[in-house]
Amino acid sequence: MEDGAVYNETTEPQAKPPRRPFGCTLRHLWGWRLLTKALQAILSLLAVICEEIVEDCIKCGGLYFFEFTSCSAFLLSLLILCVYCTDVYETFGEDKVQTVNLGAMLVISFCFLLASIVLAVTSSGSAVEKAACVFGFLASGAFLAESIIQRFHSQKQNVDVRSENPSNTQSATENQPLNKQS
């Protein structure tokens, strides 16, 4: 017993789950969601780059607000992208990730749209500021589009689930009495 012979024949080492390269997968990010996440990150980055190239500003408040918003949107889009592509998605659960994603996309799209409008109103009219505005409007559109599509899909899934599991159906075996009395 002390040499461990009893446990050698019956005990098997626990299999480790296969490791993904860099811990990243696109399993939860497919189709339209992958496209919108990529567009959000790219357009936000382009807005940040164009904003950083601006040399002179007459009313700098709008430019600073746009800088803060575009940089925050870019970083948040990367953070959410990382959540979808790593094991954090399973840790939090699909429902929580979807809820946080929907809320974040709505807030980001509203703030980005507001910052783009403020920049368009307060800009001096340089080509770089106009380009930053355009990328800002496009990025806010990408964030809003994902919010609308996600909301549409979640409502569609709720309708499908309700139609598959109708409540209070009298023919269902769950609603029948256990002991039939004659």
Q: Give residue limits of the domains in the chain.
A: 27-158
Per-residue confidence band for 97, with pLDDT thresholds at 50, 70 and 90: confident
Question: What was the pLDDT predicted at 69?
Answer: 95
Let me know: does 123 contact 60? Beta carbons within 8 Å. Answer: no
Question: What was the pLDDT predicted at 173?
Answer: 61
Q: Which amino acid is at 150?
A: Q
Question: What was the pLDDT predicted at 28?
Answer: 72
DSSP per residue over 100-128, as a string?
Answer: HHHHHHHHHHHHHHHHHHHHHHH----HH
CA distance 51 to 45: 10
Per-residue confidence band for 55, with pLDDT thresholds at 50, 70 and 90: confident
Is the confidence at residue 168, as pLDDT, over 90?
no
Question: What was the pLDDT predicted at 133?
Answer: 93
Q: Which amino acid is at 163?
A: S
What percent of the chain clears pLDDT 90, i.e. is strictly above it?
38
* Lowest mean pLDDT segment, chosen from 4-13, 55-64, 100-109, 130-139: 4-13
Average predicted confidence (pLDDT) for the chain: 81
Question: What was the pLDDT predicted at 155?
Answer: 79
Q: Which pTM value belongs to this model?
A: 0.71
Let me know: does 119 contact 132? Beta carbons within 8 Å. Answer: yes
Instruction: Quote the strand ranges of 6-153, DSSP E.
Output: none
Let me know: does 147 contact 102? Beta carbons within 8 Å. Answer: yes
Give the number of other Cβ atoms within 10 Å of residue 105's Cβ. Answer: 27
Task: Tell me the mean pLDDT in the region 17-37.
Answer: 71
Is the confidence at residue 21, as pLDDT, over 60?
no
Question: What was the pLDDT predicted at 1?
Answer: 53
Question: What was the pLDDT predicted at 92?
Answer: 85
